[in-house]
Amino acid sequence: MKFYNLFTVALIVSASAAFAQRDTTHAVQQPQSQSQQPQSPNQQPSEQFNVKEYSEIQSSELPASLRTTLQGDEYKGWENGKLYRQNNGQSYYLNIGTASSTKNYYFDKNGKAMKGPEGGTKPRKE
């Protein structure tokens, strides 16, 4: 009887050890959701906003038309914000505020305010 109990315990321990071995070298990839798939090239620029496509600039590099737009009350304090120009020169965005309270605005190359990808003026960061 002792042999039978010992054999059963050994069998359970070895089975547990065998099932505990997992291959962790290969991660299972989840299928991409609709929102993570690459966007088509014929979408509007506001739907394709990607911070990596922009470079920070100084206020002296802004076109006159955008400077005029920024004089509005909505953009008060823009001088202390961060300005970015799209690498191809087609658009700009302005980040005003601190980490806890940030406002972002998106403009075309002529200084006209544009809607961001979510329907507002806040750009999407990837």
Is 4 part of a structural domain of the chain?
no
Is the residue at 78 inside a domain?
yes
Average predicted confidence (pLDDT) for the chain: 74
CATH at residue 64:
3.10.450
Identify whether 96 is part of a domain. yes
Pairing of strands 82-86, 54-57: antiparallel
Give domain status of residue 70, yes or no: yes
Domain assignment present for 51: yes
| H or E segment and range at residue 83 | strand 82-86
Whether the per-residue pLDDT at 121 is higher than 80: the answer is no
% of the chain surpassing 90 pLDDT: 28
Structural domain tally of the chain?
A: 1
Containing structural domain, residue 105: 44-114
The string of pLDDT tens digits covering residues 64-104 is 999 999 999 989 889 999 999 999 988 998 988 877 888 88
pLDDT over 50 at 40, yes or no: no
Using the 8-state DSSP alphabet, how is residue 4 labeled? H
In a domain, 12, yes or no: no
Model pTM above 0.75: no
